[in-house]
Amino acid sequence: MGSVVLSVDAELGWGFHDFETPPIERVESGRRGWPVLLELCSEYDVPATWAVVGHLMLESCDGDHATHPAPPGWFERERGEWRHRPDLRFGPDLVDALLSSDVDHEFASHSFSHVLFGRPETDRQLATAELERSLEIASDWGQTVDSFVYPRNDVGHRDVLVDYGISAYRGRSPTSDGVRGLFDSAVRDRSMLVEPVVDEYGLVNVPASMFLFGFEGPARTVAESIWEDPMVVQARRGIDEAARTDGLFHMWLHPNNLTHERDDRRMRAILAYLDRRRAETGLTVETMDEVARRVAAARGVDGGTVAAASGPAGNGDD
Ligand SMILES: [Zn+2]
Ligand SMILES: [Zn+2]
């Protein structure tokens, strides 16, 4: 019997601070979506992997970050436009709510300040600083980190993850997001399942199957008014496929995708269906860390060792 993973990129304003014009509605919805999603996970008893941006776990900061090797201007928005918006930069209250949830969520990292690891401008020093700082802050909160979600799924510097004891990351989805993904899944009958693999660095890549909010804008409104929410239909297909096989269906979102009640309804419909199928079949819900342990253990049984697959030293710009 298969399993389902839900991963959550929890970032408040940090997911958009480098945008010239941040999407206001999304930015302003981070604080709305976080408790809504936590509540839905509790209601349907769905443990998720919450990848949290380290900076938002701070109580405050002066915006200086003098010792952080980020490019000039990287912290400009928190020094300027968001200077008086602590609600977009800090969320210890939200992290408290996550950690005190009655559901056994996995606490994971989404970097310190949402640096894009795969960009050529991001050197090893910057990637290291992002990992180190986010793990320090996690430790201040009594948390260890096993899984990492790359900002904008921009994979890079995997050797740095290894150095900091990370065991899993979310790799890119083999299927397209949005309308194209819907077409591939519904019309071409493409599988929604993904295969977690141990990569050449010894990390477990737990690829995404589906971004739950990849189909937005006017097309969504039209599609929903004619049919059911097509993303709910697609997520159900993935859940059913996992229930019928021994495969993995991995869905993800940001709390800030829950901008309106209709987004909450989508999440509720998906989690309710997941809960029901879990009760009816042997389907399980796993965190990324649990998948990584399972995959590494299976590999151990096969005679291989996870650490032996490490890549060549200094080759971090993959
Ligand atoms: Zn700061
Ligand atoms: Zn992000």
Q: Does domain 3-309 have CATH number 3.90.850.10?
A: no
Single pTM value for the model: 0.91
Between the CA of 297 and the centroid of ligand 2 the distance, in Å, is 30
Tell me the C-alpha distance between 259 and 271, whole Å.
18
Kind of pairing between the strands at 49-52 and 210-211: unpaired
Shortest-distance ligand to the CA of residue 57: 1
pLDDT in tens, the chain (318 residues): 899 999 999 999 999 999 999 999 999 999 999 999 999 999 999 999 999 999 999 999 999 999 999 999 999 999 999 999 999 999 999 999 999 999 999 999 999 999 999 999 999 999 999 999 999 999 999 999 999 999 999 999 999 999 999 999 999 988 776 666 766 766 667 899 999 999 999 999 999 999 999 866 667 776 676 678 889 999 999 999 999 999 999 999 999 999 999 999 999 999 999 999 999 999 999 999 999 999 999 887 655 444 444 444 333 334
Tell me the C-alpha distance between 145 and 166, whole Å.
7
Cα distances from 63 to residues 12, 66, 76, 78, 86, in angstroms, run 16, 9, 8, 6, 11
Task: Tell me if 109 sits within 8 A of 51, measured CB to CB.
Answer: yes
Burial classification of residue 208, based on how many CB atoms lie within 10 Å of its CB (0-12 exposed, 13-18 middle, 19 or more buried):
buried
- Which sequence spans correspond to the domains of the chain? 3-309
Neighbours of ion ligand 2 (CB under 5 A): 9, 11, 15, 151
Between the CA of 257 and the centroid of ligand 1 the distance, in Å, is 24
Neighbours of ion ligand 1 (CB under 5 A): 61
Q: What angle do CA 269, 30, 178 make, to 5 degrees?
A: 55
- The DSSP bridge partners found for residue 205 are 169, 197
Shortest-distance ligand to the CA of residue 62: 1
